[in-house]
Structure 1
Amino acid sequence: MAHTGQAGGTHFDALYKKVTWKILPWLLLGYIIAYLDRVNIGFAKLAMLSDLGMSDAAYGLGAGIFFVGYFIFEVPSNLMLHKVGAKMWIARIMVTWGLVSATMAFTVPIAQALGVSNESVFYVMRFLLGVSEAGFFPGVILYLTYWYPSSMHSRVMSIVLLGNPCSYILGGPISGALMYFMGKGATLSGWQWMFIIEAAPAVLLGVVVLFVLSDGIHSAKWLSAAEKTELVRRIAADSSEKVNVPLKSLYSLPVLWFLTLIYVLMQIGIYGINFWAPTIIRDAGVNSVLDVGLIAALPYILGATAMVLISRQAERSGKHRTYAVWVSIIAAVGLLLCTLFPHNLVFTLAGIAIAVGGSLTAIALFWGFPGTYFTGATAAAGIAIINSVGNLGGFIGPYLLGALTTLFGSPRYGLMILGASLLLSGLLMAFAGKKSSGPDGANMVASR
């Protein structure tokens, strides 16, 4: 579906630049912090497993169980955001996940106090972190649909998704340094300090967004009456072509489950990479946790650059689906490269960079699809369903990689499965170009 003219909002004019500068920096910062608190467990693993007495398989299960809590509470959370307002609910999410993330540092004393195993507390805390953070990312996606027409979603999502690589670019060196320096001669280990210190920004930003974000166009004091009218007109013109069905009927739309399957496969790949990148780099010959943190930033810098450039080119060409297919396939090739040369640092970093850049670009382009078809409460629930069920791939990927690493003593076979998942997601999107539409849009498949 292509939009033209002002009503579609295809050009990034001065009005949308104003909107972008008012809201996207805060959303990007929030996503950086969210992702850092979600994946810093990958750096903690380098020292935490021996302190907790856990195996790679137990780590993989704990890292992935985050997404079980995320899955259960994500749809209710997104519906609450739509009901009570974006800034209040996003603030609640940030403060809650920050407090839970900091509590991860005290896994051992909590286990001792309750008389249970360290593994049990680790699993519960990761589950609660997922519960706390549930709704943030789909909430951001929903929030953007309040401001931008669907033709702009890929571009703005590519900006928000910069939080993923930025969390590694900034968080890798910071996490490595905290673990290296803070654990020397201290009461707490380095990984414990890392959890505490890196959780604080989430709580602080949660308070800040109450004052800097607006719930939508009508409540934005920084917009004039004429600007509000124009934005509302463009959103209304865009929404007239979307599906808005009763929520009970949403689950019967084939397009919803088709998009969900694609997203599951994407998440299997990207979270397997993110949770295990520090371990893969260490296995390639980097021994110091400080060096691992510094080196881990390099492939994410390249990946972030690729995501921005390719997403913009896809938007200019109007070939979102074609680009999404090819970058998914290229990401799979990157993971294959890691398996072919597991002890060569140059090839390992190149493989991670290709995998990160390809998968992140595919996800940025993918999130332009749901906003093409859904609006209102249907969009809130639909986006949440796709993201919550899709994020179960974030449970499957790390768990499979951990289990296979424990079984074979190497992450090689697990990385092959992650690569196959990314490849399959690309192949499915290649068949997403055809659609048949009924009066309710129930047979539609993404065509962008």
Structure 2
Amino acid sequence: MGVAVLGLGNVGTEVVRVLREHAADLRARVGAPVVLRGIAVRRTDVDRGVPEDLLTTDAHALVARDDVDIVVEVIGGIEPPRSLILAALNAGKSVVTANKALLADYTGELAEAAERNRADLYFEAAVAGAIPVVRPLMQSLAGDRVNRVAGIVNGTTNFILSAMDETGADYSEMLAEATRLGYAEADPTADVEGYDAAAKAAILASLAFHTRVTAADVYREGISKVTAEDLATAAAVNCTVKLLAICERVEDVADDGSPRERISIRVYPALVPRDHPLAAVNGAFNAVVVEADNAGRLMFYGQGAGGAPTASAVMGDLVMAARNKYYGGRGPGESTYASLPIAPMGDTPTRYHVNMQVPDRPGVLAGVAAEFAKRDVSISTVRQEGAGEGARLVVVTHLATEAALAETVAALADSEYGVSVTSVLRLEGTKE
């Protein structure tokens, strides 16, 4: 089984190391030798610790070689990976990729090319690094009905929020620390603004609900506006704040009165109770919780990024692809039979934790409660702190739609009660 590796960054370096150091084990597991044919890099005049004759700057020529059966893409980004993967699949070669950004927008095109050419497309490493979550959704739970997938899928943001929770420091301080330690990129936008998590959420939703989902379908908020005060507020109600990727079925009633089922895919910072499993996931670790009809709740936890953990997932896919090639089989392809519609964020029900500054005067609390009631936003608890013109009012709601809550906040800002809404955080992981 001839293997071409595209990219020799942190992940590619680890993949090449495993291929070279564990060749005997791989041969035994696959049933045939797994041979590294070449590595595509940008420059060949740099000492990379591998034989020079394996290196090439012509990735397209490497992919086209007759002695290459499996292509491992660990370059990242959209182009040239998209063109290279399509070329490989169109030539009947199996592909293993860790490219979540590409898959989030082009899974359909790539999956169709794989199906046309009877080739495998594997991407376990694209979501949550070493954590096996893609294969369980595609295979282990193929006979079950998945209702919800929620988790922490970005290590950088989880490190920052965990550090803010532990130290009381603000966002900018902990972002600087994450950069110093190598958890955050020089440009952290993809992580801290939720783009990375949104791409992974699109992949998870596609698998869980047999529906083609792209990154554009995912509602996204990042953590750059989360404050130390938000973490302190969370601690006061025995919660912490996590950036969550949530994919779930939403059942409600259409305008004509008929029942309907849609899916909601969203990424945002949320309060999570301390007794919820995700609250204990700290540092750069990831975790994904899957809820299904028959399997119940399953939790997958581990290292969600890094060269070696991600290479572990890549190598697992590579072994599967090599076995299929050797024995003449194929792995499961894309499943989109359900084609469920995407629910707009405004229709998505969530609980909310609303912080307000209010004057401590007779009638203010009743007026605030009335604004919530007018829009059918049911209040679970109310807590007031302080007195005078700068009293603090905290309202926790029952399930309410995003649209109803947004209308309530706007109405409070325009009301006669002198209310200033200082923050709104969603509350996840609780039962009504």
With normalisation by structure 1, the TM-score equals 0.24
Q: Which has the higher strand share?
A: 2
Q: Which has the higher helix share?
A: 1
More contact order relative to length (CA 8 Å, sep ≥ 6): 1
With normalisation by structure 2, the TM-score equals 0.25
